[in-house]
Amino acid sequence: MAQATSSNREHLAGDALVAGAGLAGLFTALKLADAGCQVTVLAGIPRKGGATSTWAQGGIAAALGPDDSVDLHVADTLAAGDGLVDEAAARALAEDAPARIADLEALGVAFDRNADGSFSLGREGAHSRNRIAHVGGDSAGAAIMAALGKAASSHENIHILSGWHAADLFVERGVVSGLVTRGGVAPDAPTLIFRADATVLATGGVGALYAVTTNPTGSRGHGLGLAARAGALVSDVEFVQFHPTAIACAEDPAPLATEALRGEGATLLKADGSRLMEGVHRDLELAPRDIVAREIATEIARGRTVLLDCREAVGDRFAERFPSVYAACQRNGIDPVAGTIPVAPAAHYHMGGVVSDLAGAASMPGLYVCGEVARTGAHGANRLASNSLLESIVFGARIADAIAVNSTSTRPPKNAPSGGAAPTGPDPHAEQIKALRDSMSRNVGVARDASSLEETLSLIRGLEAQALPQASGYNNMLAAAHLIVAAAYRRQESRGGHSRLDYPQTDERLARPTPLTLTEALLTCAAPVTKTA
């Protein structure tokens, strides 16, 4: 955690400083700006893949159909979350959803509609109704981000800066007063403090801490680690969602075969052609995501392949209905019209994160968290499909309401500092990060146990012991990984996305969130440190 010193360079960022320019960051910024606040958005250092939101294929869940209701949406969210959902958060999500979808439409997002003008609503796992509003078939994320990017870059109250990435919270007398940023990833990169009345972390999730993930490389838990290093409370971080059907190929990140395919009737087959999910769950391929992912992972662990068969359900409409998946198949020599798609689970979404209340406020005054970095309680142990984009816009609007009340409309100075360039050379920690990602996938994946978790904890301890204090991005990543593994070690049961081979049963006494500080995580399990080169 950084403290003010006279030698630190400072920039005034206005009423609010938002770290992250994905859906959570830009939507929060737009809501703040419309309320008259002056907002600085730190878009970070350009990285391969950009924001995770842009990659979202499925869409946004909302009770928009004539047969649907807020209560049904809440009930499905609670059931998927396996006993750990905070009902008030789930209700906030479901109740605010239609209004936030209308906001996106007002920003120019053209949701797919039926001939009669009603929303064309898709089905995904564990939804009891067709409830997914999509755009361009499987291109919701890209379309929404294009509309938001256009609106935010032309809004007079929003100042988007790239080249500076959040390194530490800037804390004065216990209050978060902005961010210490770095203009690059090198240990000697310049430092600049952005000072603001309110700070919003919208830095995304942790998927790319794993070797097999659907997330872009920027999703390595930086916001989670940064907040926890400053003392913010985190919770439920052991719950990582593995998407059941990433396309099994050599690409990193692994391309997604959206759950909407199974919503259309695509089936999961074993290599011998039999249905994988038969006898496992009454909803077959549309069972909750954790259950489908576990079944696929178990089959693959037996040395067999699992195939997604879309031939009958989608057939020759594939390229038109699912253009992103079709393109990924083509890149990898797969013909999803005439043949099947090999699939495997991949780290996809983090249910846990920095603890937030219903207004998005974290445990430290002045700090708000939005999107995947936050733990609002709406997802419990397993997120309901397409509730993630929804959480970003619902809580983004709530955060803006909370901040706008105290806004002084202080305009940031015009001479905004230009940040560092995108890194050109190899990442100085490339070798260590590869070792970490491999270990996370091998030991902290769909199934874990005490000894696999101890092995990864030892590796992380070894990496931490060698890390330079000024390598803040790397240290934030290590802190995020440490929190996840320690929390997984501490929860001695199986529930939702957390499946312990040594504790296969759900323990009703543990049906509660697990708030954790970094200090507690660092004291978890005295496994010996692995020496790294």
As given in the structure block, the two tokens for residue 331 are 């890149």
- Which of 328, 400 has the CB closer to ligand SIN? 328
Q: Does the annotation count 448 as an active-site position?
A: no
57 near ligand SIN (CB under 6 A): yes
Please pick, from the candidates 40, 386, 392, 439, the single residue that binds ligand SIN as defined by CB under 6 A. 386
Q: Residue 166: phi, psi to the nearest 5?
A: -65, 130
β-pair partners for 353: 235
CB nearer to ligand SIN: give 183 or 253.
Answer: 253
The window from 5-13, 254-262, 323-331, 435-443 that contacts ligand SIN (CB under 6 A) reads 254-262
Applying CB under 6 A, the span of 193-201, 269-277, 381-389, 421-429 interacting with ligand SIN comes to: 381-389
> x/- string (CB under 6 A) for ligand SIN, residues 338-357?
-----------x--------
Rule CB under 6 A: say whether 133 interacts with ligand SIN.
no
Instruction: Determine, following the binding rule CB under 6 A, whether residue 385 of this chain makes contact with ligand SIN.
Output: yes
Strands, E assignment, 8-141: 10-12, 16-19, 39-44, 60-61, 121-122, 132-133
**Contact call for residues 33 and 201 (beta carbons, < 8 A):** no
How far apart CA 505 and CA 195 sit, in angstroms, is 48
> Closest separation between CB of residue 473 and ligand SIN, Å?
26
Nearer to ligand SIN, 256 or 314 (CB): 256
Tell me the two tokens of residue 450.
Answer: 């005490």
The 3-state DSSP class for residue 61 equals strand
Identify the DSSP state of 412. P
Q: How far is the CB of 479 from ligand SIN (least distance, A)?
A: 25
Any contact of residue 157 with ligand SIN (CB under 6 A)? no
> Exposed, middle or buried: residue 280 (CB in 10 Å: 0-12, 13-18, 19+)?
middle
How far is the C-alpha of 89 from the C-alpha of 391, rounded, in Å? 9
CA of 438: how far to CAs of 137, 208, 226, 432, 443, in Å? 33, 11, 22, 10, 8
Q: Which residues pair with 368 in a beta bridge?
A: 200, 361
Find the shortest distance in angstroms from Cβ 136 to ligand SIN. Answer: 13
Q: Is 15 in the site for ligand SIN (CB under 6 A)?
A: no
**Alpha-carbon span 513 to 351, nearest angstrom:** 11
Residues 257-286 that bind ligand SIN (CB under 6 A): 258-260
Site size toward ligand SIN (CB under 6 A) is: 10
Residue 41 or 307 having the CB closest to ligand SIN: 307
Cβ closer to ligand SIN: 14 or 352?
Answer: 352
The residues that bridge with 448 in the sheet, in sequence order, are 500
Choose, from 91, 195, 262, 289, the residue flagged as catalytic: 289
- Minimum CB separation from ligand SIN for residue 359, in Å? 24
Can you tell me which residue has the tokens 């002045």? 366
Nearer to ligand SIN by Cβ, of 376 and 386: the residue is 386
Rounded CA gap, 71 and 282, in Å? 22
- Would you tell me which residues interact with ligand SIN (CB under 6 A)? 57-58, 256, 258-260, 349, 385-386, 388
**Residues annotated as part of the active site:** 289
